């Protein structure tokens, strides 16, 4: 595998760093288990790319500390950036470096090492978080090199919980991804739930992290579904509540969660109301119809359209009636058109069969057979009676 100077920006002050792909797709654990050499390095020189050359030029770093030595020297190391990136290295910056021997004989002439081929940002070390990242990398290196499934689940679980407790957001998100990538592996257990719920309840942590940890606990059936979402919705910062609403969307069937979401359609900020209007649009959720009806009569337009879409997804007779009414009489022409479009997307309702109130009748053929039962019983009793009486008459 190539080597990555996988560097995730710990300080927004370093404006020269550019993400090249999906940030955070690789975790620190992934990078450490893939690399032959893991080190702290300082960028000393970035070569100039040749004209019309689409590959990134070699980078030279001075090794500050080797965390996994491999066969790397302790001085200057020259490496090739990963093959599909567009990272721009800055002379003087310090970063975590993940290397292996260059696999291409032709490119090995340019540099003996290459970055681990990964989809990730570079991990640039700021003064504030430098020690945390280096200690984290050292911990993951100790788990060993090789495929993820060879890592002891409980060991990785203990490390992941430690990293989740860390205040560095990117490191915590990587640890959460490790939990998710572990699938059904017993990486955490009931014993770990109190520690993980502390993260969920910590209002100082990013909402996305809190939602992710709670979702992971529910996925693993370590907490009841929906049991902590109300508290999470109440405690999150207003500018992050839409993130939690999106996470709570699939828990609408829990009455307490649905009640909070419905109330946010009415009393939330415009962004919250829009997110909540989308979240309550689930088949049969009639409890949300009144709030959605009120939303269709309000601004902004995006809220009206979200509410109309949810009325269509609820798809009950009452929700259809509301859509039909808005399609005919809403004062805004575009909203009328949107309501008509939503109504047109719905299939026809199945005809309602009137019930007589009694039990369902069996098929006619079976009913005719029932009339024979009394006659058969009379015949049987008659035969038995005559057989008992016959000897006395003779």
Over the stretch 323-360, which tens digit does the pLDDT of each residue have? 999 999 999 999 999 999 999 998 887 665 555 554 55
Which whole number is the average pLDDT over 62-69? 87
Residues 181 and 301 both lie in one domain: no
Over the stretch 159-215, which tens digit does the pLDDT of each residue have? 999 999 877 888 999 999 999 988 888 899 999 999 999 999 999 999 999 999 999
Residues 208 and 336 both lie in one domain: no
Residues 70 and 198 both lie in one domain: no
H helix runs in 228-355, sequence order = 229-235, 241-248, 255-267, 270-279, 289-296, 301-314, 317-329, 333-344
CA neighbor of 320 nearest in space, from 337, 299, 357, 345: 345
Are residues 143 and 157 in contact, defined by beta-carbon separation less than 8 angstroms? no
CA 36 to the chain's CA centroid: 31
Asked if pLDDT for residue 301 goes beyond 80, the answer is: yes
Distance between CA atoms of residues 271 and 273, nearest Å = 5
Residues 186 and 70 both lie in one domain: no
Over the stretch 67-111, which tens digit does the pLDDT of each residue have? 987 666 678 889 988 755 556 788 999 999 999 888 888 878 888
In a domain, 358, yes or no: no
In a domain, 257, yes or no: yes
Q: pTM for the whole thing?
A: 0.74
Distance between CA atoms of residues 178 and 158, nearest Å = 11
H helix runs in the chain, sequence order = 28-34, 105-108, 130-142, 153-165, 169-181, 193-201, 207-219, 229-235, 241-248, 255-267, 270-279, 289-296, 301-314, 317-329, 333-344, 364-393
> Which residues span the domain enclosing 42?
1-146
According to the model, what pLDDT value does residue 350 have? 66
Residue 376 or residue 159, greater confidence: 159
Residues 137 and 161 both lie in one domain: no
CATH number at 273 reads 1.25.10.10
Over the stretch 104-159, which tens digit does the pLDDT of each residue have? 888 788 888 888 865 556 788 888 889 999 999 999 999 988 888 788 888 999 99
Task: Report the domain count for the chain.
Answer: 3
Residues 291 and 278 both lie in one domain: yes
Report the half-sphere exposure of 87 (CA within 13 A, side-chain side). Answer: 32
Distance between CA atoms of residues 126 and 128, nearest Å = 5
């Amino acid at each position: 595998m190539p080597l990555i100077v996988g560097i995730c920006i710990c300080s927004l002050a370093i404006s020269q760093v550019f993400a090249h792909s999906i940030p955070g797709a690789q975790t620190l654990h992934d990078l450490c288990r893939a690399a032959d050499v893991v080190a702290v390095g300082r960028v000393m020189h970035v070569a100039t790319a040749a004209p019309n050359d689409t590959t990134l030029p070699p980078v030279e770093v001075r090794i500050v500390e080797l965390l996994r030595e491999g066969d790397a020297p302790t001085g200057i190391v020259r490496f090739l950036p990963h093959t599909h990136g567009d990272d721009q290295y800055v002379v003087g910056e310090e970063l975590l470096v993940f290397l292996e021997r260059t696999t291409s004989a032709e490119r090995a002439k340019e540099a003996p090492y290459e970055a681990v081929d990964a989809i990730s940002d570079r991990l640039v070390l700021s003064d504030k978080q430098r020690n945390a990242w280096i200690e984290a990398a050292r911990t993951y290196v100790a788990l060993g090199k090789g495929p993820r499934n060879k890592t002891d689940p409980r060991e990785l679980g203990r490390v992941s919980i430690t990293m989740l407790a860390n205040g560095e957001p990117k490191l915590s998100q990587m640890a959460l991804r490790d939990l998710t990538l572990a699938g059904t592996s017993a990486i955490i257990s009931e014993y770990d739930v109190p520690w993980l719920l502390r993260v969920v309840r910590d209002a100082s942590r990013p909402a996305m992290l809190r939602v992710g940890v709670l979702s992971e606990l529910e996925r693993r059936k370590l907490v009841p579904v929906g049991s902590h979402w109300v508290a999470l919705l109440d405690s999150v910062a207003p500018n992050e509540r839409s993130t939690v609403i999106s996470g709570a969307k699939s828990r609408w069937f829990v009455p307490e969660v649905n009640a909070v979401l419905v109330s946010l359609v009415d009393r939330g900020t415009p962004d919250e109301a829009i997110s909540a209007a989308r979240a309550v649009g689930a088949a049969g959720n009639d409890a949300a119809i009144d709030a959605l009806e009120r939303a269709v009569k309000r601004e902004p337009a995006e809220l009206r359209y979200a509410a109309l879409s949810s009325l269509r997804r609820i798809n009950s007779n009452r929700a259809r009636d509301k859509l039909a009414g808005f399609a005919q009489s809403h004062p805004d022409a575009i909203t009328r058109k949107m309501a008509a479009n939503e109504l047109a997307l719905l299939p026809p309702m199945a005809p309602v069969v009137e019930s007589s109130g009694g039990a369902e009748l069996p098929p006619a053929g079976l009913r005719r057979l029932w009339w024979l039962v009394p006659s058969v019983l009379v015949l049987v009793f008659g035969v038995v009676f005559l057989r008992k009486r016959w000897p006395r008459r003779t």
